[in-house]
């Protein structure tokens, strides 16, 4: 393999793993050898590429832009190889960051056909409900929900997922079904990654925002747990449609606020910290 090309690939992996040791191991190199090759690349480029500390290896500001350009070049070379082979087959490792619930409910049931079409591709689904850092965690593709932060990464909108409030039929039969934000007072909120925080939920209508406050006695760290809590009748949950599609379909939960989820009337959002 061309030395410059392999060094650029090594540079990308160091950037993604924040470790000369981990990246070098992937290429069969010792830590000193990997470090030396990156140092030589920096000298050739004319800029320091990484800043080392006792805790991590991080990109310099100049290297962040360089990384984006290098990844574009390597991706184009990979596509050229595929075109030359006359096949769209993908190879290598694809690291995907996504939430646990979205991965379990939406991606895994559909990924079989994709993997069958690309038998030489290894897919690494990194499912956690905390937002992962694409560079630090070595992620190639990330599924995000909500407003995206400014970034040099390329993004596309694959679809929209309406927010809604849901609860079990038994809970609503006991506590009543709220029809307006004010009706949520006195209800129990299930709090978690897709739920509310201690301040409640915000609804917006005609440019005017209304805060709905309730009691949050249960906090769950995973989206799947919040949905299970709603099914168990433990309160009202704010979630995306994909997070409760199956439970809505079979009646284990119901829409708690039919009027509020009409996006032409209100928009629900998690309050800002």
140 & 222 share domain:
no
Helices marked H in 86-235: 100-102, 111-117, 169-175, 223-231
**pLDDT over 90 at 203, yes or no:** no
Indicate if the alpha-carbon torsion angle 238, 242, 248, 250 is positive or negative. Answer: negative
- Number of domains the chain is built from: 3
More confident residue, 250 or 94: 250
| Mean pLDDT for the chain overall | 78
Q: Can you tell me which residue has the tokens 């991590």?
A: 56
135 & 54 share domain:
no
pLDDT in the model for residue 1: 41
**CATH number of the CATH domain containing 44:** 1.10.10.10
Give the tens place of pLDDT for each residue, 35-85: 899 888 888 888 888 888 767 788 888 888 888 888 888 877 877 766 666
SS3 label, residue 17: helix
Q: Does residue 99 sit within a domain?
A: yes
77 & 96 share domain:
no
**pLDDT over 60 at 132, yes or no:** no
**CATH number of the CATH domain containing 249:** 3.40.190.10
Indicate if the alpha-carbon torsion angle 35, 41, 43, 48 is positive or negative. Answer: negative
**pLDDT over 80 at 13, yes or no:** yes
102 & 74 share domain:
no
Q: Does residue 155 sit within a domain?
A: no
Choose the weakest-confidence range: 100-114, 133-147, 224-238. Answer: 133-147
Domain extent at residue 200 = 163-269
Domain boundary among 116, 144, 172: 144
Q: Residue 93 in contact with residue 65, Cβ under 8 Å?
A: no
């Amino acid at each position: 393999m061309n030395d410059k090309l392999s060094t650029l690939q090594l540079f990308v992996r160091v950037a993604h793993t924040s470790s000369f040791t981990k990246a070098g191991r992937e290429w069969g190199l010792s830590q000193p050898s990997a470090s030396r090759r990156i140092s030589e690349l920096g000298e050739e480029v004319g800029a320091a590429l990484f800043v080392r500390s006792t805790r991590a290896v991080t990109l310099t500001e100049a290297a962040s832009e360089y990384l984006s350009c290098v990844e574009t070049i390597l991706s184009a070379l990979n596509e050229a190889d595929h075109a030359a082979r006359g096949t769209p087959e993908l190879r290598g490792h694809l690291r995907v960051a996504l939430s646990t619930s979205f991965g379990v409910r939406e991606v895994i049931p559909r990924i079989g056909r994709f993997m069958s079409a690309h038998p030489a591709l290894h897919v690494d689904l990194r499912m956690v409900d905390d937002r992962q850092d694409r560079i630090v965690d070595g992620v190639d593709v990330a599924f995000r929900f909500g407003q995206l932060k400014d970034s040099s990464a390329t993004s596309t909108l694959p679809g929209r997922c309406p927010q809604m409030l849901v609860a079990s039929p038994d809970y609503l039969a006991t506590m009543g079904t709220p029809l307006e934000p004010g009706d949520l007072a006195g209800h129990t909120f299930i709090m978690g990654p897709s739920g509310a925080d201690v301040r409640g939920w915000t609804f917006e209508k005609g440019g005017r925002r209304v805060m709905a406050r309730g009691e949050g006695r249960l906090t769950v760290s995973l989206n799947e747990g919040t949905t299970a809590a709603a099914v168990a009748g433990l309160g009202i949950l704010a979630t995306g449609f994909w997070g409760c599609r199956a439970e809505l379909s079979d009646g284990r939960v119901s829409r708690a606020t039919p009027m509020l989820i009409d996006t032409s009337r209100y928009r629900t959002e998690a309050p800002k910290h």
